[in-house]
Amino acid sequence: MTITDDTVQASAAVLRQRLGALQPRVAVVLGSGWAPFAQSLTGAVEVPYGDLPAFPVLAAGAGVAGHAGVLRAGHLGGTPVLVLAGRKHTYESGDAAGMKGAIRTLAALGVQLLVQTNAAGSINPDMPPGALMLITDHLNVAQRSPLVGETGNARFVDMSAAYCPQLAAQARAAAAASGLPLHEGVYAWVLGPQFETPAEIRMLRLLGAQAVGMSTVPETILARHAGLRVLALSLITNMAAGLSAEVLSHGHTLATAQAASQRAVATLAAVVQKLEL
What are the residue numbers of the active site? 32, 67, 89, 91-92, 119, 214-215, 238, 250
Q: What's the CA gap between 115 and 272, in Å, rounded?
A: 8
Q: Name beta bridge partners: 133.
A: 183, 234
Q: Are 241 and 263 in contact (CB under 8 A)?
A: no
In DSSP notation, 179-244 reads T---EEEEEEE---SSPPPHHHHHHHHHHT-SEEESSSHHHHHHHHHTT-EEEEEEEEEEEPTTSS
In DSSP notation, 92-156 reads GTS-TTTTHHHHHHHHHHT--EEEEEEEEEE--TTS-TT-EEEEEEEEETT---TTTT--SGGGS
Of how many residues is the chain composed?
A: 277
End-to-end CA distance of the chain: 32
